[in-house]
Structure 1
Amino acid sequence: MAEGDSIRRLAGRLGAAFAGRVTVAASARAFAGDRLLEVVPVGKHLLMRFAGGFTVHSHLRMQGAWRQHRPGWRPSARSVRPVMWFDFGAAGVLAAHEMPVLEILATADEQRVVGHLGPDILAGDWPERLPTAAAAVGAQPARLIRSALLDQRNVCGIGNLWAVEGLFIAGVWPHTPAGDVDAVKVLELVGRMMRLGLRQGTQSTTGNLRRGQTHWVYGRYRRPCRRCGTPVAFTAAGADPYARETWWCPFCQPAPLG
């Protein structure tokens, strides 16, 4: 899933393969002969900075992909046509497939697309930025904690999987008002989980990598909780863009009394 950890891993792979290389051809002619300086993750966003002063900004959402192809590759009638591609000669071709958000902007203008984001939970300065993120999560005390965690303006990089699993491990009912939650504690926990997943290259939250055993409650509606055996509950996505599908254990994450 294209959450902060997977985007950071993707940036590392693409940077290792193509950073410092010069394009010999590109679907956007302005990049032909330009050099890719670096691939930078910002939450769920990816910034590819070129020496010519332009950045390619992308957001994968659920369907987008950056793929590496053999040298000289070009899209064919049979292929899923990319929105954009860069030919780096012997290093191969980097192509965006089915990318829902893809734009070119001046590197100096990057704040236009990422300036609204809160602190990046996987960035090196996260410990110093944690209090700011926690204050933002609790700034609207009546808002549900599940939505407050997913609002990228509060803290960026947390996706639905990490929010659902983090709230389970923290023992917090996902429909709890944010003002009633220790946001620092929850964010510290989610941050540790995501960093561990980043190091291990997996989004397993249980520590078990076997198929169907990787998550505590995510995607497990009506199945027994792995901790107590209670059937996992579920709430469908709502009209709010941050009211995503939610799973939780009614026993391990009890609703407040009254």
Structure 2
Amino acid sequence: MPEGDTVFLAGRRLDEALSGRVLLRGELRHPRWATADLAGREVLGVRSVGKHLFTRFSGDLSLHSHFRMDGAWHLYRPGEKWRRPGHQVRAVLEVPDRVVVGFSLHDLELLPTGEEHRLVGHLGPDLLGEGWGDADEAEAVRRLAADPERELGVALLDQRVFAGVGNLYKAEVCFLLKVSPWSPVSAVDPAEAVRLSRRLLLANAWRPEQSTTGSLARGRQHWVFERAGKPCFRCGTRVRVGGQGEGVHERPAYWCPRCQPGPIA
């Protein structure tokens, strides 16, 4: 599932392409919204909230989308060939010089703009939210520290604690905090965990490449994420991977057994 910075960047690109423009074409190829026609509406802006995206239109109307595992928004010039097959298309928003196509967006919903909270009101503070301040940080810290015995890796992925961290940043935050993902929240300073999570997301928010090491060289972008069996960049020990979470919430957790002491899978 995409990280919060991926959704943030997608939202900014859509906002630049569509905001202030009137739609020539606005199709939703989704069973629930197939009869909706957005043509003629002005796009007022596109906003990300954690991993959720809202495209706002004139007439107090918003289109909510969520990437899940395979969704994406693409930008094209009129007449340009689309890079994914037509059967995956769920939305087409066109203005005179750009065509915005949503692929595999399984979660689409049209709703009054004033009711967006209905879909994201349960989320914790958005790590990439506009106007992030001391109050947002304090609330994120409070939510993270509320269950000190909870596994840190699980807590970092809980969007109700704070929104935006996915499996990549979970692995990298745990590595940089020098604890295994199965360590309890109490093993770290929750304020440090919040600040580090936000700092990593911010570092990558305006580019498609994601690096937590400071390097964009191939194979050097991440400390442990998706590096199972390869030597740790710090100590040379082979990085390990194990499942964390239960049922549909289980995700692979990557860690260095030497640099990250604590419980393991």
Per the normalisation by structure 1, the TM-score is 0.91
Aligned to 2:114, the other structure's residue is in SS state helix
Pair 1:253-2:260 in alignment = yes
- Within a 5 Å distance, the mapping from 1:104-123 to structure 2 comes to 104-123=110-129
Instruction: Quote the offset at 1:104 in angstroms.
Output: 0.9
Whether the 8 Å contact between 2:9 and 2:206 is mirrored in structure 1 is no
Instruction: Quote the offset at 1:240 in angstroms.
Output: 4.8
Instruction: Quote the offset at 1:176 in angstroms.
Output: 0.8
Aligned to 1:84, the other structure's residue is in SS state strand
Aligned to 1:67, the other structure's residue is in SS state strand
- Within a 5 Å distance, the mapping from 1:1-258 to structure 2 comes to 2-28=2-28, 29-71=36-78, 79-88=86-95, 90-123=96-129, 124-199=131-206, 201-255=208-262
| Corresponding position of 2:32 | none
After superposing on structure 2, the runs of 4+ consecutive aligned residues of structure 1 that deviate more than 6 Å are: 72-75
Instruction: Quote the offset at 1:241 in angstroms.
Output: 4.7
Instruction: Quote the offset at 1:158 in angstroms.
Output: 0.8
Over the matched positions of the two proteins, sequence identity in percent amounts to 39
Rounded Cα–Cα distance in structure 2 between residues aligned with 1:82 and 1:187: 36
Whether the 8 Å contact between 1:44 and 1:157 is mirrored in structure 2 is yes
Rounded Cα–Cα distance in structure 2 between residues aligned with 1:36 and 1:54: 10
* Letter matched to residue 153 of structure 1: R
RMSD: 2.1
* Partner deviation per Cα, 1:19-57 (whole Å, 9 max, x = no partner): 111012222543111011000010111000001211100
* Unaligned runs of at least 5 residues, structure 1: none
Per the normalisation by structure 2, the TM-score is 0.89
Change (3 A) 1:232 1:73: closer
Change (3 A) 1:25 1:107: same
Aligned to 1:27, the other structure's residue is in SS state strand
Instruction: Quote the offset at 1:221 in angstroms.
Output: 1.0
